[in-house]
Amino acid sequence: MSKAKVLKLSKSIIVKSLLLLVCAMAAVTIGGTYYFANRQTQMALESTHEANKVHLQQMSSTLHNEMFQFGNQLMLLAKTSEIKSMDPSISTSYLKSYNISPLFISGEKISLFGRNNSLICDNSMIASVPTKYPIDFSKITPHRLHISGWYRDSDNMRPKRAFATVVADNAKGNGSLIASFSAQRLWKILSESKVGKKGYYVAINSNGEIIFHPDLETWLTGHHKISELGIKNFNPKNDETKNIKFYTLSNGETYLANYVYDAAYDIGLLSLQPKSEIDEQVSSLLLVSKVMLAAALVIILLISFWLYRMLVLPMGRLIQHTIEISEGDMEAEDIDLGKRQDEIGILAKHFNIMHHTIKRQIAELNAHREMLEQEVQERTKELEEANKKLDLISRTDELTGLPNRRDMLRTIDNEIQRVTRTRKPFCFIFIDIDHFKNVNDTYGHACGDEVLKHVAATIRNLLRKYDVLARYGGEEFLTLLPETDLEGAKIAAERFRKTIEDTTVIFGKLSIKVTITLGVSQYDHALGADRSIQMADRALYEGKENGRNRVIIWEPERTSQEDYKAAEMERDSRK
């Protein structure tokens, strides 16, 4: 290599850049480590707060479900024949039976009252003073639980609530079934749960009265407010924590707090995790950051030494190699870099031709690629539109524009999954046009099509926005009524029947009166969708046999054991 092509180390831009790079990396590493430590500290705090929030929501949901199940059990008991009889002997034996006793824990009472609010019996095993419940009997209404506020018995300071429901008896008049719900049920759940390693939960009501604290002897032997813990000016109904909040309690220790209030059952849940526990996690992160900083500085020094050996020293050989390649047949255009004699100047001079060549080729390739991408997008858009049309065709009845049988079955499957969560009833209405064959035979199929479209449009206009009407086959239609019991479905079906009866189908110069027969059934989980629809179909054909133009309700008690067995066999065969 000639002297003109050999660079002195002091003139090397690579050496200068390397020194600048080392200083910059050191500064960035130190600053980054500092930022990382602070950020990790904040993230650890936010992560702990968010995790506690999620656990708190889960715990609140668990307590909600516990009281919800208690209320449901009470309503189910109120519907039993033994309770509805309101016979002192029968009801007393039933409430004290081994079937009912496990439903209640120690300290909980259940009492049956007559229509004059007089006590009939309770579940006391020995004669005792009748339990007094803080219940206004005038507020106990059918189909809905009435729940009192939290209270304490004079002989048992454990917090309780009274749940009350109506006992319906047409012969003797309505009575009331009242049970006390003990907070001890919630204590067991809360005492077995921890917030972090050393934290705990505190439960309060809307008045700020403590319902649960892990130190039962101190805080639950009498009436205590949350303010006595050291949390002042706390509003149990509105102080749900959305941001990170710390409380210093009366014991002098600071806690990270999360709070949620369940208005349905008047219970607020406060999670408290010691700040010292979080500080231990942060200290570990800071130690890790320091170790990372030391390691990063060592790595920078090693990389610098490696770059010197792997980049600076070989660069002289690389420059000579580049010159030899650039002295070929390719025509090069000079790059004006002044009097620069460093490596970058030499590389820029001899890579200029390759740069422009590659740039031109890349431009050509990009233009071709854009053309191909545009063509692909156009084809993709056409395919998507075609798929949407095919999907709509596959789910829609062409004549009436209603969902077809296939789409209705999919809708029913979705509704079954939804009611599994909500436990709300839904019903089917099977509809058949009376004497439709006579219409086709007398006026022709075109007139029959007009009748089908008229019936479909008329009933569809009577539906709620979430009801579904589908053409199930021929002149048969199936209606799905979500969140509707048999009584509501009966009213809707009668409205359908009456509206069709009162309207006239106009076909050319003809005025044709048509009627429909409807069968109504409620979805029965034990039967499944297909069999529940069959019950509506049976009711429909019963209406056909009894003169048509009527609504027939399939009452659940009409379903035979053979139907249930057949449904079970069908489910087993599909497994």
Domain locations in the chain as residue ranges:
7-319, 328-395, 405-574
Looking at residue 11, its pLDDT comes to 64
- Whole-angstrom CA distances from 84 to 113, 166, 376, 401 are 11, 10, 72, 50
pLDDT averaged over every residue in the chain: 83
For residue 471, list its beta bridge partners.
477
d(CA 106, CA 103): 10
**Count of beta carbons in the 10 Å neighbourhood of residue 302:** 10
Looking at residue 494, its pLDDT comes to 96
**Count of beta carbons in the 10 Å neighbourhood of residue 177:** 26
Q: Which distant-in-sequence residues (6+ apart) come within 8 Å of 275 by Cβ?
A: 246, 253, 254, 255, 256
- Is pLDDT at 330 greater than 60 in this prediction? no
If you average pLDDT over residues 469-495, what whole number do you get? 94
Quick check: 333 and 36 in contact, CB under 8 A?
no
Looking at residue 4, its pLDDT comes to 40
Local confidence band at 424 (pLDDT 50, 70, 90 cut-offs): very high
Looking up tokens 């820029």, which residue turns up?
A: 348
The DSSP letter of residue 548 is S
Catalytic residue of the set 475, 476, 494, 501: 475
Looking at residue 455, its pLDDT comes to 96
384-404 pLDDT, tens digit each = 776 777 666 778 998 999 999
Looking at residue 3, its pLDDT comes to 41
200-234 pLDDT, tens digit each = 899 989 888 888 888 877 777 778 888 888 888 88
Quick check: 540 and 518 in contact, CB under 8 A?
yes
- Whole-angstrom CA distances from 405 to 45, 85, 243, 388 are 55, 46, 51, 19
Looking up tokens 């009492």, which residue turns up?
A: 111
Q: Look up residue 413 and give its two tokens.
A: 């499957």
Local confidence band at 344 (pLDDT 50, 70, 90 cut-offs): low
398: annotated active-site residue: no
% of the chain exceeding 70 in pLDDT: 85
Same fold, 7-319 and 405-574: no
Q: What is the per-residue burial (b if ≥16 Cβ within 10 Å, else e) of 155-164?
A: eeebbbbbbb
Quick check: 204 and 211 in contact, CB under 8 A?
yes
Q: Say how far residue 275 (Cα) sits from the centre of its chain.
A: 32
64-79 pLDDT, tens digit each = 999 999 999 999 998 9
Local confidence band at 33 (pLDDT 50, 70, 90 cut-offs): confident
Quick check: 50 and 273 in contact, CB under 8 A?
no
Least confident of 331-335, 428-432, 448-452, 526-530: 331-335
- Is pLDDT at 459 greater than 70 in this prediction? yes
Q: Which CATH number does 405-574 carry?
A: 3.30.70.270
Looking at residue 2, its pLDDT comes to 42
- Is pLDDT at 304 greater than 90 in this prediction? no
d(CA 164, CA 145): 6
If you average pLDDT over residues 274-282, what whole number do you get? 82
d(CA 475, CA 465): 23
- Whole-angstrom CA distances from 219 to 35, 189, 211, 213, 267 are 44, 17, 9, 6, 17
Quick check: 246 and 275 in contact, CB under 8 A?
yes
Is the pTM higher than 0.85? no
d(CA 165, CA 135): 11
For 7-319, which CATH superfamily applies? PAS domain (3.30.450.20)
Give just the sign of the alpha carbon dihedral 162, 163, 167, 168.
positive
Quick check: 452 and 399 in contact, CB under 8 A?
yes
d(CA 547, CA 498): 15
Report which of residues 554 and 234 the model is more confident about. Answer: 554
Q: Look up residue 104 and give its two tokens.
A: 């209640």
